[in-house]
A and B are shown apart, each in its own frame.
Chain A
Amino acid sequence: GENVEQHPSTLSVQEGDSAVIKCTYSDSASNYFPWYKQELGKRPQLIIDIRSNVGEKKDQRIAVTLNKTAKHFSLHITETQPEDSAVYFCAANHGSSNTGKLIFGQGTTLQVKP
């Protein structure tokens, strides 16, 4: 079946450094790639998304890049802060079915050390 692979599973950075999380997807028809942040004990919440007709999107300190040819996309967080510590999930839609189904990666636990 279709899947999304996410790396690394854990990431530890010093406050102020950058963090990068990478995902690859298998469904060539996928055209929507959201990123969710899950703080400890909370629900996942959308932080940024990108559509397949765009190569990069930025929102303040976070950015997402997409390489459709290679079928991978990445989340970049600059100037990390302790409040960025959370689990991050990438996802890709099931493009061929247009059902609204999202396929999630395994998650990355980001720790930002003060």
Chain B
Amino acid sequence: EAQVTQNPRYLITVTGKKLTVTCSQNMNHEYMSWYRQDPGLGLRQIYYSMNVEVTDKGDVPEGYKVSRKEKRNFPLILESPSPNQTSLYFCASSTPGQGYTEAFFGQGTRLTVV
């Protein structure tokens, strides 16, 4: 089954404690991205990756890191989480295909930073 898998689904952590949210896709998609969803703000892109070892900042990259060492995996790293990073996070993948690109989303990770 074609899918994007995120882990964990729920995470409560304390300020400053490094954490990683994993994302894996099995569709051989080149393009992967991370979004955060906050009420009234929609889906805002954090980072994206065009392919292995190619990453770039999205619209709200501050406080986040990513890596793309393998095509299927795109982890999101919070080196020193802060309460303003409490949010619902989604990973998505797609294949650019002339710009017509359906994004497939993971199940989401609800992060709470206290």
A residues with a Cβ closer than 8 A to B are 1, 6, 9, 31-32, 34, 36, 42-46, 49, 51, 89, 93, 95, 98-107
Contacts and interface: CB of A to CB of B under 8 A. Distances in A.
A31 B99 contact: yes
B76 to A, nearest CB: 16
In the complex, which range does the number of interface residues on chain B fall in? 20 to 34
A100 B96 contact: yes
Contact of A93 (B35, B48, B101, B106): B101
B2 to A, nearest CB: 13
Nearest to B107: A43
Contacts of B30: 100
B42 A99 contact: no
Contacts of A106: 40-42
B96 A51 contact: no
B99 A102 contact: no
A107 B42 contact: yes
Contacts of B99: 31-32, 93, 95, 98, 100
B108 A32 contact: no
